[in-house]
Chains A and B, each alone.
Chain A
Amino acid sequence: EPEVTQTPSHQVTQMGQEVILRCVPISNHLYFYWYRQILGQKVEFLVSFYNNEISEKSEIFDDQFSVERPDGSNFTLKIRSTKLEDSAMYFCASSEFGRNTEAFFGQGTRLTVV
């Protein structure tokens, strides 16, 4: 069964460093998403991406965040200068046609900023 794959499963970084979280969406999907979940809190929408551009972003997704689809398979989230409060589980998701199809989630990357 096709699945969304995220790497690494756990990333530890020092405050102020840049991190790149990687995702391989399901191959025939057209819409891609990043979500984050701070420990013990709800899942929060960050950004959606379609046709090689951001289609929606939340207030959380500020200038320190960026997304990219560098090739035909990967979808990345870059955090330019990490802060302690960026520590969270980051989930990538993809869907075939957008809002009227379900989003499939990866297992997540746990980011710890020290």
Chain B
Amino acid sequence: AQSVTQPDIHITVSEGASLELRCNYSYGATPYLFWYVQSPGQGLQLLLKYFSGDTLVQGIKGFEAEFKRSQSSFNLRKPSVHWSDAAEYFCAVVGNNNDMRFGAGTRLTVKP
């Protein structure tokens, strides 16, 4: 069965510092991969997605993610974090069926 693991429950970074949020998936083939962000009290907003092709994908708000098949990973990165990036980040996978499965989420705190 497909699954998504986000090993870091909570990460704190200083404003201006770089960020990497980890995501590992378990699936027999290459799934479709997504990163969503959820601000407090809000719905889910898509940051970026990977279907095929270039393994480094660019998203909104300066985020990017790299698909590494050998590591079954799809880590999210940002070179310089802004205070407004404080939110919950969810990695998600869609396999052969149409249900999207989410990781447990990583809460990002940004220090001034």
Contact = CB atoms under 8 A, between A and B. Distances in A.
Please say whether chains A and B are actual partners in one complex.
yes
B99 interface: yes
Contacts of A103: 46, 100
A58 B1 CA distance: 12
Interface in B93-112: 94-105
A102 B46 contact: yes
Interface string B32-73: 101010000011111001010000000000000000000000
Q: Is the interface of A mostly helix, strand, loop or mixed?
A: strand
Nearest to B97: A56
Interface residues of A, number: 26
Interface residues of B, number: 23
Given A105-B44, A107-B43, A98 B98 contact: yes
A48 B99 contact: yes
Contacts, number: 60
Nearest to A31: B98
B104 A42 contact: yes
A10 to B, nearest CB: 11
A83 to B, nearest CB: 23
Nearest to B45: A105
A99 B43 contact: no
Interface of B: 32, 34, 36, 42-46, 49, 51, 90, 94-105
Interface of A: 31, 33, 35, 41-45, 48, 50, 55-56, 58, 91, 93, 95, 98-100, 102-108
